[in-house]
Amino acid sequence: MGALAIKNVTKRFGDTHILKGIDIHVDSGEFLILVGPSGCGKSTLMNIIAGLESPSGGEVHIADRIVNDVAPKDRDIAMVFQSYALYPTMNVRQNIAFGLETRGVPKKEQDEVIARVAKMLQMDHLLDRKPGQLSGGQRQRVAMGRALARNPKLFLFDEPLSNLDAKLRVEMRTEIKQLHHRLKTTIVYVTHDQIEAMTLGDKIAVMKDGVIQQFGSPQQIYDTPANLFVAGFIGSPSMNFIPAHLASEGGVIGVSLQSGDAACFAPLLDSQRYAAYVGKRVIVGVRPEQWDLAADGGGLACKINLTEPTGPDTIVFTQINGIEVQARLHPRDARSPGSVLHLRPDMSKAVLFDPETEIRIG
Amino acid sequence: MSVTSRPAHYGFAEHWLPRLVLAPSFLLVLVFLYGFIAWNGALSFTASRLLPNYEWVGLAQYEALFASERWWVAVHNLFIFGVLFIGGAMAVGIVLAILLDQKIRLEGALRTIYLYPLALSFIVTGTAWGWMLNPGLGLEKLMHDWGYAGFSFDWLVNPDRSIYTIVIAGIWQSSGFVMALFLAGLRGIDDSIIKAAQIDGASLPRIYWRIILPAMRPVFFSTLMILAHIAIKSFDLVMALTGGGPGFSSDLPATFMYQMAFTRGQMGLGAASAMMMLVTVSAVVVPYLYSELRRSRHV
């Protein structure tokens, strides 16, 4: 059953096109992430799903029902906001009860719901406090509790963790994921943080300029990004984009890499699919962790310009084909700046892009 | 503190310069505000008539004040005026602010139009409303000229109604100001709170009544303070609109004080009534200041 379907939704203000034909289909129980840089239209799309803004064209279906003309309160949704949006003059209990009260839920049932939610989020001790007396993390918890009070068909999270400090953000991220496992409710989650997107989502829609650049599972998006933007946006440190010529040497198609005076030819796997591009310029995308130390002395001899130890790995900076390349190595393999390392890209995982269209080849 | 590491002469300047700069205004306030309050207090215990004298009569002026019918009319009027003026200006101002908050076009222009009466002095307001409410000149004459011969609106010259004309003019003058204060408060409300309430299923009136207006409590109190002290010291509006008349039917304590002290040669009585006003204003302002200062010290 489709929990949420967005069909060719557009939104414009005057001549400004915020959304240019969005299509998304999410199955019941899935965790959908809308991710993109600020101004990409993801929050507008979220507001359209919630019914807080109306689309200029297209259809929004929730639980197989067109909801274009349905008021937010009748869409059977609950939403958590970036600023938490708690009612400032009400205490936590009243905050949770407000929506129930508006819907005419009897007092006794309200109390049961509040008790259930408070237990689920371990916030019994906060029930009589005002939002002003809570810490950021506690407010976040209450905002989630308020959304959980009803059993909606769809949860909407609008950058819920952006206002938290780094440590709390990681904790709450885990908690949201656990909550999703337990409740199995469909969730739409807006974020600009690609790590949140990767860790939480069943499906990710990467957005830019009001267009979905790619829609797929986190692993699909990571391994086979549709274009340069997606490849650069997902993953940290981001993918290296090495400009190169696609050449054929003895029937094997590959790219030549050059670092300082050293050069090597890196053959591509399953290379016949790139045949049409032989002799043309391409951009080779190799993620930092897709570099290995060539113990046999092969590969490309690269001079290290800089190292950034992160603990588990060390990021090594070098120059290949005229651009700065980062390689993630085991700390024991890294050398200090100035020395030379023999690096070999894992070409089975490399992706190629057309420099003109910026779209992935093959 | 890093003060100890500074040169000595620097410490001297730092110590004395602020005091020197503040001293003139401090002295002026001390003499012309608190000094004259004290002098007025002293005069209220004397038998001063046209000019101040120091013939002590104890509480006789206060006894005379409380026995005066005219004073009680003024106090009664202040009560009517205060309640209706504060309540009316507040209600009109809040409604205007909520309507203006609906993201309408020309908001800037409308805001200026509503705020503009505040730029007029109460004298101008009073004079203009005096013309409009004058039965032989304003609204009533207009309606008669249009053929509604039975129309009657004589509040300005009706001793039982004259105080209400002051209320009308006062509300007209001040509600734009209340609107501006509340509009600023409403703009401070996080948009997503309203969105959350919409998703929770609350209607717009309910959102305002249950969530937004309760959050306006500080604005509400500031506005109340400002309007209350305008009401208590109201003088120019009454002088321009009704002159306290007909008779003394629309007197307020401030006009009573002025009449006694400066035109009827009863300076002691005027001083006593001024002291009563000071006490009233203090009763309103002191608790407010106390709570505000205490809060800011805690923050």
Q: Would the pLDDT of A202 be above 60?
A: yes
Contact residues, chain B, for A85 at CB < 8 Å:
190, 192-193, 195-196
- Residue B295 at interface with chain A, using a CB cutoff of 8 Å: no
pLDDT higher than threshold 80 for residue A76:
yes
Q: Tell me how far CA of residue A347 lies from CA of A139, A255, A294, A318, in angstroms.
A: 47, 10, 13, 18
Structure tokens at A270: 């399953």
pLDDT at B161: 80
What is the model's pLDDT at position B127?
Answer: 85
Identify the residue among B189, B192, B211 best suited for mutation to test binding to A, counting A beta carbons within 10 A and taking the highest: B192
Nearest to A281 by CA among A323, A242, A238: A242
For A16-56, the pLDDT digits (tens) are 888 998 999 999 999 999 999 988 889 899 999 999 889 99
pLDDT of residue A221: 93
In whole angstroms, what is the distance from residue A134 CA to residue B141 CA? 63
Cα of A67 vs its chain's centroid, Å: 26
* pLDDT attached to residue A190: 93
Contacts of B186 in chain A (CB under 8 A): none
Residue A177 has pLDDT above 50, yes or no: yes
Residues of B in contact with A52 (CB under 8 A): 195, 198-199
Across the interface, do A82 and B211 touch by the CB < 8 Å criterion? no
Give pLDDT tens digits for A211-260: 999 999 999 999 999 999 999 999 888 999 999 988 888 778 888 888 88
Q: Does position A262 have pLDDT exceeding 60, yes or no?
A: yes
Does the pLDDT at position B267 exceed 80?
yes
Q: What is the mean pLDDT of residues B157-179?
A: 85
The whole-angstrom distance between residue B107's C-alpha and the CA centroid of its chain comes to: 27
How distant is the Cα of B95 from the closest Cα of chain A, in angstroms?
21
Mutation for testing the B interface, residue in A62, A73, A86 having most B CBs under 10 Å: A73
Burial class (CB in 10 A: 0-12, 13-18, 19+), A209: middle
Q: In A, residues 148-187, which contact B (CB 8 Å cutoff)?
A: 158
CB-nearest partner of A89 from B190, B202, B215: B215
**Could you read off the pLDDT of A275-309 as tens digits, one per residue?**
888 888 999 999 999 998 887 777 888 899 999 99
Token code pair at residue A243: 């400009």
- B196 and A81 within 8 Å at the Cβ level: the answer is yes
In this complex, is the C-beta atom of B206 within 8 Å of any C-beta atom belonging to chain A? yes
Distinct helix (H) and strand (E) counts, chain A: 8, 21
Distances (CA, A) of A230 to A218, A227, A328: 11, 6, 20
**Tell me, what's the pLDDT at A217?**
94
Cα maximum dimension of chain A:
80
Task: Please tell me the predicted confidence (pLDDT) of residue B296.
Answer: 61
CA distance B115 to B113: 6
**pLDDT exceeds 60 at position B19:** yes
Beta carbon pairs, A and B, within 8 Å: 61
The answer, yes or no, to whether residue B248 has pLDDT greater than 80, is no
Dist. CA B34–CA A32, nearest whole Å: 69
Q: In what order do the strands lie in the sheet with A65-66?
A: A16-27, A2-13, A57-62, A65-66
Mind giving me the DSSP string for B37-68? HHHHHHHTTB---SS----B-TTHHHHHHHH-
How far apart (Å, rounded) are the C-alpha atoms in residues B125 and B102?
A: 30
Determine whether the interchain pair A81/B197 forms a contact, defined as Cβ–Cβ distance below 8 Å. Answer: no
Q: Give the C-alpha distances (Å, rounded to integers) separating B248 from A293, B77, B240, B275.
A: 102, 10, 14, 21
- The DSSP code sequence of A328-342 is EE-TTT---TTSEEE
| CB contact B284 to A (< 8 Å) | no
Nearest to A89 among B195, B206, B214 (CB): B214
Q: Domains (ranges, CATH) in chain B? A: 1-43 (no CATH), 61-298 (1.10.3720.10)
pLDDT in tens, B214-229: 888 888 888 988 888 8
In sequence order, the 6+-apart residues with CB closer than 8 A to the CB of A248 are A254, A278
Q: Which residue has the higher pLDDT, B286 or A187?
A: A187
In the prediction, which pLDDT does B2 show?
A: 47
**What is the per-residue pLDDT for B6?**
55
B197, B201, B206 member nearest A103 (Cβ): B201
State pLDDT tens for residues B77-106: 888 998 999 999 999 999 988 888 887 788
Q: Which residues of A touch B197 (CB under 8 A)?
A: 87, 98
Whether the per-residue pLDDT at B258 is higher than 80: the answer is yes
Does residue A322 register a pLDDT over 60? yes
- Band of residue B122 on the pLDDT scale cut at 50, 70, 90: confident
Average pLDDT, whole number, for chain A?
A: 89
**Percent with pLDDT over 70 in chain B:** 95
Distance between B198 CA and the closest CA of chain A, angstroms = 6
CA atoms within 13 A on the CB side of B75: 13
Q: Are the beta carbons of B73 and B244 closer than 8 angstroms?
A: no
B-contacting residues of A 195-234, CB under 8 Å? none
Q: Looking at residue B299, what is its pLDDT?
A: 45
Query: Domain A240-361 adopts which CATH fold?
Result: OB fold (Dihydrolipoamide Acetyltransferase, E2P) (2.40.50)
Q: Which residues pair with A65 in a beta bridge?
A: A62
The Cβ-side half-sphere exposure at A341, using a 13 Å CA radius, reads 29
Q: Is A73 on the interface with B (CB under 8 A)?
A: yes
The strand pairing partners of A303, in sequence order, are A340
**Every domain of chain A and the residues it spans:** 2-233, 240-361
Q: Is the pLDDT of residue B4 over 60?
A: no
pLDDT at B7 over 80: no
Name the residue among A53, A124, A157 with its Cα closest to residue B103: A53
**pLDDT for res B8:** 58
Q: Cβ A102–B200 below 8 Å, yes or no?
A: yes
What are the structure tokens assigned to A324, written together?
Answer: 């700065």
Q: For A73, which of B192, B201, B215 is closest by C-beta distance?
A: B201
Q: Is the ipTM of this complex over 0.85?
A: no
Query: Looking at the predicted structure, is the pLDDT value of residue B197 above 70?
Result: yes
CA A96 – CA A75 distance, rounded (Å): 18
Task: Summarize the confidence of residues B114-133 as an average pLDDT.
Answer: 84
CA-to-CA dists, residue B181 to A21, A73, B106, B176, angstroms: 43, 32, 19, 9
Amino acid at A355: P
Residue to test with chain A: of B189, B190, B200, most A Cβ within 10 A: B200
Question: Between chains, do B190 and A52 touch, taking CB under 8 Å as contact?
Answer: no
DSSP secondary structure code for residue B243 in this structure = T
Q: List the single residue in B196, B201, B211 with the smallest CB-CB distance to A79.
A: B196
Asked if B190 has any chain A CB less than 8 Å from its own CB, the reply is: yes
Give the nearest partner residue to B200 out of A73, A88, A89, using CB atoms.
A73
Give the CATH class of A2-233: alpha beta
Q: Which of A77, A84, A89 to mutate to test the interface with B (most CBs of B within 10 A)?
A: A89
* Separation of alpha carbons B51 and B153, rounded Å: 42
Mean pLDDT along residues A192-201: 91
- Taking the Cβ of residue A348 and every Cβ of chain B, the question of whether any pair is shorter than 8 Å is answered with no
For residue range B46-84, what is the model confidence (pLDDT) as tens digits? 888 888 787 788 888 888 888 888 888 888 888 899 899
The pLDDT of residue B21 is above 80: yes
Instruction: Give the separation between CA A168 and CA A112, rounded to whole angstroms.
Output: 29
Q: Among the listed ranges A111-120, A313-322, B260-269, which one has the minimum average pLDDT value?
A: B260-269
